[in-house]
Amino acid sequence: MQNIKEYLTTNKERFINELIEFLKIPSVSADPAFSEDVITASKAVKKSLLDAGCDTVEIYETDGHPIVYGEKIINADLPTILVYGHYDVQPADPIDLWDSPPFEPIIKKTELHPEGAVFARGACDDKGQMYMHVKALEFMVQTNQLPCNVKFMIEGEEEVGSNNLAVFVANNKEKLANDIILISDTGMIANDVPSITTGLRGLSYVEVEVTGPNRDLHSGLYGGAVANPINILTKMIASLHDENNRITIPVFYDKVEELSQKERAEMAKAPFDLEGYQKALHIKTVYGEKGYTTNERNSIRPTLDVNGIWGGYTGEGAKTVIAGKAYAKISMRLVPNQDWHEITELFTAHFEHIAPEGVTVKVTPHHGGQGYVTPIDTIGYKAASKAYETAFGKKPIPQRSGGSIPIVALFEKELKSKTILMGFGLDSDAIHSPNEHFGVWNYLKGIETIPYFYEYFTAMST
């Protein structure tokens, strides 16, 4: 029987070219201008799953973008793996900061990817990582080595909050029944430091609007005499952190899970190059909540960040004006036990409370989700760990991530199953940013690691 390494040697050129074709489809879920492309991408996913060997694949319409669902059931007595991924991508803006067009993929070498990386929007998040699973399935089916049942659920709305997927999951619990959920939509520490993501942060995303006078005013005639919404908004935002960079919203930290010294010491063992981190970002020093390391700040601690702020005159030259309104978009990353609905309410109440007289504020929640932590004493984690050990020749380090995939907590609630997060991207792969890329080595390593997981998980479960 052929092993995966041989199969990769024979097919890697084709695997790379197929990914490149898939990346050419601009499946931006947030922008209605791309809705036809999103549909095209869903059809490409369907075709790829059928070609790889799924018995049935359906495209399910939703109130938003479609969900692609496929399966190959070989024996009801064997375990079932549910693979989740997303074929939608973030908007490519700002386009002029890309070195090559975002939907014309090219392969270029980088310091961290000496064997080349594919540059395109979605290369790493998540088309490239999702497609590794399609190619791993192809290998297992074509060489008669699929050891268990597999279901694929690939959605087109992850980057906009997965609202319709939540409905689909709640309505299709039986169809989606599984023993473990497998996702590659996160990262690892480095190519020679494999890691498995054991936690995701929750999220509450809100938009705020501060209204002062009923119209824009001359800043000479009215300046100093009325509340300036932009002045007020920035002052309010500044007050949301104290001098130790802790969030000042009352009750915000009450449910935050505090890790023991032992757990923190365990975390601190993961290699981290602070100087390299600062150098790569061209910053003199890191910044954040007092008393915590960088790795803790971006994984086990909650945060509040302004993602965008606007109002008034931002065009060429100068215009003397006091704007009637000012706006900001704010995200809060949450940790286990913090409930995103509750945090959204706490934020809203606090923001209304700190608004001075003379302005009115409106808080509009956008989307959110709960955080997730996966235990490491399960069959799923052990099988994943062994799979990495086989493929990388090294035991992977469990590591919590700072990012969010809100649907994961919902999977656990609705489908009662745990998720294994086998991510193969690097933090420096520029997901959501200009020049997003995914290492060719990482792509092929992922395809190699996945079948080992199927094998070990099935062996350990039966």
Q: Do residues 368 and 205 make contact, with C-beta atoms less than 8 angstroms apart? A: yes
Taking the complex as a whole, how short is the minimal distance between the CB of residue 88 and ligand BES, in angstroms? 9
| Encoded amino acid at 146, one letter | L
Decide which of ligand BES, Mn ion, none touches 328; Cβ closer than 5 to 8 Å per partner kind: none
Q: Do residues 372 and 403 make contact, with C-beta atoms less than 8 angstroms apart? A: no
Q: Which two tokens stand for residue 87?
A: 């074929």
Site residues for ligand BES, window 357-416 (CB under 6 A)? 367, 401, 403-406
Rounded Cα distance between 38 and 164, Å, is 15
Does residue 125 bind Mn ion (CB under 5 A)? yes
Site residues for ligand BES, window 100-129 (CB under 6 A)? 125-126
Rounded Cα distance between 433 and 249, Å, is 30
Decide which of Mn ion, ligand BES, none touches 105; Cβ closer than 5 to 8 Å per partner kind: none
Q: Would you call 239 helix, strand, or coil by DSSP? A: coil
**If you ran DSSP here, which 8-state letter would residue 48 be given?**
H
Q: Which is nearer to ligand BES, 136 or 426 (CB)?
A: 426
* Locus of tokens 């023991």: 260
* Locus of tokens 């700002």: 94
Site residues for ligand BES, window 173-202 (CB under 6 A)? 185-187, 200
Q: Do residues 132 and 47 make contact, with C-beta atoms less than 8 angstroms apart? A: no
Does residue 165 bind ligand BES (CB under 6 A)? no
Using the contact rule CB under 5 A, the part of the chain among 122-130, 148-156, 373-381, 387-395 near Mn ion is: 122-130
Using the CB atoms, write b or e for 101-133: b if 16+ within 10 Å: ebbebeeeebebbeebbbbbbbbbbbbbbbbbb
Taking the complex as a whole, how short is the minimal distance between the CB of residue 33 and Mn ion, in angstroms? 19
Mode of pairing for the β-strands spanning 372-373 and 325-334: unpaired
Q: Which is nearer to ligand BES, 148 or 405 (CB)?
A: 405
Q: Which is nearer to ligand BES, 71 or 185 (CB)?
A: 185
Q: Which is nearer to ligand BES, 345 or 427 (CB)?
A: 427
Site residues for Mn ion, window 279-308 (CB under 5 A)? none
Binds Mn ion (CB under 5 A): choice among 37, 155, 179, 185: 185
Site of interaction with ligand BES (CB under 6 A): 125-126, 158-159, 161, 185-187, 200, 203, 367, 401, 403-406, 431
Site of interaction with Mn ion (CB under 5 A): 125-126, 185
